[in-house]
Structures are given as structure tokens and as C-alpha cells.
Amino acid sequence: MPFVADIHIHSRFSRATSRDLTLQELYRWGRRKGIGVIGTGDITHPGWLSEIDNQLADDGGSGLFRLKSEPAPEPIPARSGDARLRFMLTGEISSIYSYGGKTRKVHNVVCLPDLDSAHRFAARLERIGNIRSDGRPILGLDSRDLLEILLEISPQAVLIPAHIWTPWFSVLGSKSGFDSIEECYRDLSGHIFALETGLSSDPPMNRMVSALDRYSLVSNSDAHSAANLGREANLFSCDMTYPAIMQALKTGIGFDGTLEFFPEEGKYHLDGHRKCNQKLHPHESIRLKGICPVCGGGLTLGVLYRVAQLANRTADQIPSDKLRFRSMLSLDSILGEVLGVGPSSKKVQTLYMKLLSELGPELTILMETKIEEIERCGADLLGEAIRRVRSGRIHADAGYDGEYGVITVFEPGERERLLGQTSLISNSTNPGTKKKARTSSLVKNPRRPKRSPQ
């Protein structure tokens, strides 16, 4: 049965996270989103691990875990495959160390098949550094050695390099990363079979680098609040068990691709220096030799720049079977634009829950629900907005140097014009708007995939 998985998240024990990140709240939001498997996050933190011990139970030897006491169900129609929600034992480790004459800062996601392994892994890391002050511990541990420890704890454990292009903390990042996966994990690189693309890149960008062809590309929310679950996620059609999920990622059979941010929305898509209000396309950064034109300091070279550095193929050379993904916007963002208010406003949240109660989970509404049904239940223009997002007809003001980008569906003033002529919308799928105007792209016309069923 198809299901959605989001395995890289955080708990409230991580820095700069919401206090609402409890297992009960993660379960509640997971059901709202339509997610089948959620990572626990922060598996090495003693406080969080204790809560996991007390509140989760083994799901019949599947390698996943169920909540012992589920919160009262909300009136959300379940999509087929949403009958269960299970947790996977996961966490993110920050490794800061010296290798090859450079300081390396790499984040890795670890996945474990059972609680005994999780406890032994945490105990092993505590002998190396402080795992108590942050749910995502910072250790002076080589990424290769982290992987070795993980495999010694359990041969079924898996390491996935996190958000691999992020400038400051990733395996291929411009500031402190490597030029290849093999350079980082060396003799153990064969144990890596999946890479997390991060919010600022999507599969077409990653597939410009043919060296990544042998890896499954996964996407996760890296959520710091429960409401951000599923902003990126993975689609599976295998059994909902830990071994089956990992086998699907190894072979590609049963792994049906990813749900993605539009990469321009990510915080590090373009280059720049936020302090000086400088946002630059890579060709401008190259001309400036990576120097901020205002203050003379170094620019933060973003994901698009770094991908271009390592790319060895053009868009039309990417194998079509490597582009299984769909780009989307969160439902509250779309509702905020349609209603002309902020996405966290009471007006948006009220309509959000109304839509869920009538149509089902958020991801189902965004990807599957017929536009006609959405139009019957939602605000004016909501169906048109979701139609445009599904076809990639969006407008992007790209993110840079830690600043999220802004994605909009309508051009300035267009929403107001269309509200005055809603009859035109019902009679046409293209009410006189310009086609998508994405402000940055590695190539002029990257191929977009056909929609794939979940």
C-alpha cells in the first residue's frame, strides 16, 4: 500500500525548535498531513530517548514503532494507506572535524532498527562528546568514523548524508564539504545508498552530477515544528517496515520518488550576503570572485553555485527515470495567498481544518483531490491556485544566505482582478496569466516529470 515517509525531523530537545514537538503532537500533525512513517529525530538525546522508551511500542517486529496512547482522532477522512502511522528511530549528527587540511562540517541522518541499538549507539557517542545539550549533537567525529560506529552497533543501521548541498553543514557544501561522497566516507562509502537533497535543491539539479546516479535521492522536512512535517517527503509502495523501506532505497523498487520544495524557496538556493542585502546568481558571483560588492567580505555561495561547480551533464542528458518527484507548496501558504492574509492567521487555520475535514489529509488535497472538489469546498481561487502549483506555474523570489525564498502563485494585483471575474476561472484553466516565472534555474528549460500516482 502506498505511503508517505518523512524521516528527518527534530524534537523539542534540539536548539531553535518548537516546544510542541512531542510524540503526541507529531502523531496529530502526521495524520493531518497524511504521512505514514515519521522519523523520531534526536534519537541520541537521553531525554527524548526516555520519552520514546515510555511512549512508543514495537510494531510487531517491523522495525517501526507505534504510539502506545494515540490522541483522540480528528474528523479527517483517511486516504487509502493512511490507516496507520508509525515512527522510525532516526536522528541527525553534526560532525565538525579536520580532514585533508580543511575544517569539515557535515550533518548526517542515522536510522536504527530497534531500541537496543539506539541506546547502545547513544552510549557510544556519549564517550566521544556531549549528547545532552542538543538533540542534534555536535561531535568532533569524522563522518567516516561515525558510519563505522553505526555499522558496528547494527549492520541494519543506515546513514544518509543530510541536505547534501547546504553551504555550511553538508557533505558537498561550498564552505566545508567535499567534492565527492567517496572522499568523505572513503572505504565505507559503499554503505551509502541514499542522499538527502535538502530544501534548496531538487532532483533535476542533483542529476546534473552523474556521480550521484547510483544513489536514491530522498527529501525530508527537517521539521523544527510539527506543522512543518511533510513540507518535503518520500513516496513508497513497499511494505511499511524498516527492512522494506531500506531495501526500496537500495534498489529503487518500491521507492516512488519525492515531494519537494520548489528549490528557490530554500534558504541557500542563490548566492549572496544577507547583511548587505546582496542576492546574486552564480554567474555574478563568479564574476565577483565570490566577494560581496558592498563590504568586500566573502559571499555565501549557495546550492545552485555548488551544483554548477560539480555538474558534468546538461538537463537533456539526465536519464528520465532519475526524475521521479513532484514540487509543491504547503496548503497554508496557498491559502494565505488566496485569502490575502498570513499563513498562520486564524482565517487560514480555520479554512485549513475545514478542508481537511471534508477532503482528507493535506498531501492528498495538494496532489490528488480533483480541482472541482477543491473548488466546492474552498475559498475563491483555491482550486486555480492548486492547479497552477501542480503544473509548476509559480513565481519565485529565491532564497539566499539563510533567508527563505518566497513562492507565489499569482502576480501582483492578479488575485484582485481574478476575484472580480471568477466566472472566467470556472470556464478556463488559463485565465490570461503569464506562464511560470521562476527567477533562477541551472538550465533554461529543465525537464519536469510527469505526475506519478502515489
- DSSP per-residue string spanning 169-202: SSTT-TTT--SSHHHHHGGGGGG--EEE--TT--
Residue 301 lies in a domain: no
C-alpha cell at position 424: 472566467
What's the structural domain count of the chain?
1
| Mean pLDDT to the nearest integer, 443-453 | 35
Residue 293 lies in a domain: no
The reported pLDDT for the residue numbered 379 is: 80
The reported pLDDT for the residue numbered 77 is: 83
Between residues 267 and 446, which one has the greater pLDDT? 267
Residue 175 lies in a domain: yes
Q: What is the pLDDT of residues 273-301, one digit of tens each?
A: 999 999 999 999 999 999 999 999 999 99
Question: Percentage of the chain with pLDDT > 90?
Answer: 86
pLDDT of 234 > 90? The answer is yes
The reported pLDDT for the residue numbered 150 is: 98
**Secondary structure (3-state) at 143:** helix
Between residues 377 and 345, which one has the greater pLDDT? 345
**Secondary structure (3-state) at 365:** helix
Q: What is the pLDDT of residues 79-125, one digit of tens each?
A: 544 568 999 999 999 999 999 999 999 999 999 999 999 999 999 99
pLDDT of 44 > 60? The answer is yes
Split at pLDDT 50, 70, 90, the class of 248 is: very high
Residue 178 lies in a domain: yes
Split at pLDDT 50, 70, 90, the class of 404 is: very high
| Mean pLDDT to the nearest integer, 27-31 | 97
Strands (E) in 35-187, as ranges, are 37-39, 56-58, 65-67, 86-99, 102-112, 138-139, 158-161
Rounding to the nearest 10 degrees, give the CA dihedral for residues 427, 428, 431, 435. 170
**73: number of Cβ within 10 Å:** 9
**Secondary structure (3-state) at 92:** strand
Residue 86 lies in a domain: yes
The reported pLDDT for the residue numbered 422 is: 58
Q: What is the mean pLDDT of the chain?
A: 92
Residue 361 lies in a domain: no
Q: What is the pTM of this model?
A: 0.91
CA distance 94 to 104: 10
The reported pLDDT for the residue numbered 83 is: 60
Q: Which residues pair with 112 in a beta bridge?
A: 89
pLDDT of 346 > 50? The answer is yes
Residue 377 lies in a domain: no
Residue 388 lies in a domain: no
For residue 191, the domain's CATH number is 3.20.20.140
Query: Domain span at residue 45?
Result: 3-264
67 secondary structure, DSSP code: E
The reported pLDDT for the residue numbered 424 is: 46
From the number of C-beta atoms within 10 Å of its C-beta (0-12, 13-18, 19+), residue 190 rates as exposed
Q: What is the pLDDT of residues 415-442, one digit of tens each?
A: 999 987 654 444 444 444 443 344 333 3
Q: Evaluate whether 307 touches 165 at the Cβ level (below 8 Å).
A: yes
164 secondary structure, DSSP code: T
